[in-house]
Structure 1
Amino acid sequence: MDRAAPHSVTIRLAESSDRDAWIRLRDALWPGTPDDHRSEVDAFLSRPSPRDACFLAVAPDGAVIGFAEARLREYADGCVTSPVGYLEGIWVEPDHRRTRVGEALVAAVEGWARSRGCTEMASDRALDNEASGRFHEAAGFEEVERAVLYRKTLDPGALD
């Protein structure tokens, strides 16, 4: 599934030969967990699932300049249908932002979700990532909820 994007950028599904570029972009979006990125990308490439997709934005010179990962979820906050197409993550290299590459990646994810019977899309962002909020709203998403999540480490020696 190739789609023409602005400035001759091509949007296509990730392939095995894209492994290193995809990991590099994941590291940029979600820093601090490179081992997880390698194992998750390898798992995706070795055992593709119809419930997951990764679209890449490829410049005319072959450089991978952005990605969008998507998943089918049974439920998403604010949605009333199932399954829901979920934009798990999206990243465009800073030099290529504001050129509609992100918009083209979202459009590819939307088409993928529609082809799997979805009538709704969902996504999320960190509360303090206002740039992501502006991007999501410009891409047609509407905010449905805000949350602060908590975790606590349990002491394995403290049994009831």
Structure 2
Amino acid sequence: MIQQAEQQDALAAATLALLLWPNHTVEEFTESMTHLLKDDNAAIFLAYDHDKAIGFAQCQLRTDYVEGTDSSPVGYLEGLFVMDNYRQQGYARQLVAHCEQWAKHMGCSEFASDCEWDNTESLQVHLQLGFTEANRIICFTKKL
């Protein structure tokens, strides 16, 4: 079952986000999720096995340029995670479908995402979910 998260779901979403991005704390993510759940331009969807949250997808509207797109705003998949024991069962596809429907409802005609250059697992998931690769870039920074 997939449900759009509400304020009371911030900790569940944060706990799952920590499994995807472990270089943070559950407190940081709870604060972030609480903020996102108040933002009309963002949505979080949770996948459940009975009453246990086992996956999440975070999507937002992006109004800046999104690589490979022609319109604005663009629905953007910011994060997608399904617990190991629940993978290959359609949860990721359902989560992304809910994000896409949300983006359409928000007036978007395009939906995009990204992954790290060397994250081949994420690349394969994106391709299996119907995304096409738009570009590959290397980003640079410099202290001033």
Above 0.5 in TM-score? yes
Unaligned runs of 5+ in 1: 1-9, 155-160
Find the residue that maps to 1:36 and give its secondary structure. Answer: helix
TM-fit CA distance, 1:42: 2.5
TM-fit CA distance, 1:153: 3.6
Give the alignment partner of residue 68 of structure 1, picking from 57, 72, 88: 57
**Distance (whole Å) between structure 2 residues aligned to residue 36 and residue 24 of structure 1:** 10
**Distance (whole Å) between structure 2 residues aligned to residue 29 and residue 88 of structure 1:** 11
Q: What does 1:9-28 align with in structure 2 at a 5 Å threshold?
A: 10-28=1-19
**Distance (whole Å) between structure 2 residues aligned to residue 20 and residue 38 of structure 1:** 5
In structure 1, what residue type is equivalent to 2:130?
G
Q: RMSD of the alignment, in Å? A: 1.2
TM-fit CA distance, 1:59: 1.0
In structure 1, what residue type is equivalent to 2:7?
S
Unaligned runs of 5+ in 2: none
Find the residue that maps to 2:81 and give its secondary structure. Answer: strand
Query: Size of the alignment, in residue pairs?
Result: 142
**Identity, % of aligned positions:** 38
Once structures 1 and 2 are overlaid, which stretch shifts more, 20-29 or 103-112?
20-29
**Distance (whole Å) between structure 2 residues aligned to residue 152 and residue 120 of structure 1:** 32
Find the residue that maps to 1:64 and give its secondary structure. Answer: strand
Moved beyond 3 Å, runs of 4+? none
Find the residue that maps to 2:117 and give its secondary structure. Answer: coil
Give the alignment partner of residue 126 of structure 2, picking from 136, 139, 156: 136
